[in-house]
Amino acid sequence: MIYPGRGPVGYRELAGLLRDRIASGELRPGQRLPSETTLAQTHGVARMTAREALRMLRAEGLAAAVRGYGIVVREHVEPELVLVDAEDRISARPPSPHERDMYDVPEGVSMLVVTHPDGLQDLYPADRVVLAYRRDSSPD
């Protein structure tokens, strides 16, 4: 168990523990994370709980699946600031296989879609950008 004497551990708590180990440098970029089985045995959780915790880290861009190797800690990338106008619509969706290759998007990371009033769209990997409104165009 992660917290002796406390209730059952969920995937969020397990992901939080791994996130803390990544943030502290105990788990470094390129290093393989423990397998689902190892996490389940070490922390007294079901394999499905461990799987969901690892999926959460991948969705946050902290980890990536490497075929034939496992889940590894990703190199930290400082997000780019992208300014949008108040009239722009922002949405998120999973990338297509082509977009995943073209933008080098890890499994579990969404694409942010900025749709401009003229219908044109800009795509951004969600783990590498922060969207903010321009000062002169903030929404009401």
The enclosing domain of 22 has a CATH number of 1.10.10.10
Q: Tell me: the pLDDT tens digits for 69-127?
A: 999 999 888 889 999 999 999 999 999 999 988 998 877 789 999 999 999 999 999 98
pLDDT score recorded for residue 1: 46
Q: Tell me: the pLDDT tens digits for 22-48?
A: 999 999 999 999 999 999 999 989 999
pLDDT score recorded for residue 136: 75
Question: How far apart are alpha carbons 127 and 121 in whole angstroms?
Answer: 18
Same domain for 128 and 99 = yes
Same domain for 67 and 93 = no
* Residue predicted with more confidence, 104 or 51: 51
> Residue 3: inside a domain, yes or no?
no
3-class secondary structure per residue, 15-77? HHHHHHHHHHCCCCCCCECCCHHHHHHHHCCCHHHHHHHHHHHHHCCCEEEECCCEEEECCCC
